[in-house]
Amino acid sequence: MSTFLISFFAFLAVMLIMLLVYGVWVNFFDRRTHAKKQRLQAIHNAVHRDGQSPGSAQATLQESALESWLRSRSRRFKQLENLAQRANSPITAGRIMGIMLLLFTVVVVFGFLRQTNPFSLLLLSVALACTPLLWLSRQANQRRQAFEDKLPETLDYISRAMRAGHSLTSAIGMVGKEFADPIGQEFKTVFDEISFGIPFKDAIAQFADRVQSNDLNFFVISLMIQHETGGNLTELLDGLSKTMRERFKLRGKIRTLSSEGRASAWVLGSMPFMLAAILALINPGYMSLLWTTTQGQTLMLIGGGLMTVGFFLLHRIIQIKV
């Protein structure tokens, strides 16, 4: 059984290395890709002179044949692109996948050289390969939180601009100029899309897809309903702004009440590692049995799995939707 696993992992490592070599060849040495990039550069220069947003032109310029192929055949790749866009990452989805494959391959090859347990090696390689996804998720959540914190103020600004005689599209453009990133950049993108001829409903729907915020969804749905049926939009925006501020207050109270659960999670989660570090300093030979013997590695896997389940349960307990 172990021989079969070693052969399987060796075959997988060779295939990953071949995919990485192919990706490097397609992106940097293929003549067709180089010619396409030259054409895209020419289009970018011509469109940029006409006033297109540099961000969208740069995203178009970074596309490659491999990314186009993955986008047309994989829904997961589209989700990865959406995550990179929400995180405002300068690295494209194709390069993120390349980094993940590289991390996975390096860990697998290094584990084979050290003759590590195949099951432990698989878990470690998958965990390390997923670190770019965790980083992107954290960046996306921070960007969404910063967006939501400024959204009530933005709605008040749009309402005041409309009372002063500006149209909704003009008010959205003013938000893009006056507010800082991320909210200013996102509203500027909406204004540019409407200016380039994209229908208002499509531009607003894409806006909600990019940010993926519950508070913004209320705003988008209100705009779509008002765009079809009419009504006093300024009063609607004032009501939305007030409701969002009340939700922020309630969310702060819940966070205060759940602070004990979060503190317990940190204490319980850090105690095994702190205890292991202290014992390793006091008696290294005693602790080395955990990673030098098969029984110790099995205990570490079981303990890691139980801790993961505990963290998940504590996280679900303290997460209260408002």
The DSSP secondary structure of 155-179, one letter per residue, reads HHHHHHHHHTT--HHHHHHHHHHHS
Asked whether the beta carbons of 107 and 9 are under 8 A apart, the reply is no
With cut-offs at 50, 70 and 90, classify the pLDDT of residue 301.
confident
Rounded Cα gap, residues 24 and 28, in angstroms: 6
- The structure tokens listed for 91 are 């690295």
With cut-offs at 50, 70 and 90, classify the pLDDT of residue 59.
very low
- The structure tokens listed for 63 are 């596309």
With cut-offs at 50, 70 and 90, classify the pLDDT of residue 7.
low
With cut-offs at 50, 70 and 90, classify the pLDDT of residue 30.
low
Does pTM surpass 0.85? Answer: no
**Structural domains in the chain plus CATH codes:** 2-129 (no CATH), 141-256 (1.20.81), 258-318 (no CATH)
- The structure tokens listed for 59 are 């995203």
pLDDT by residue (tens digit) across 12-22? Answer: 666 777 766 66
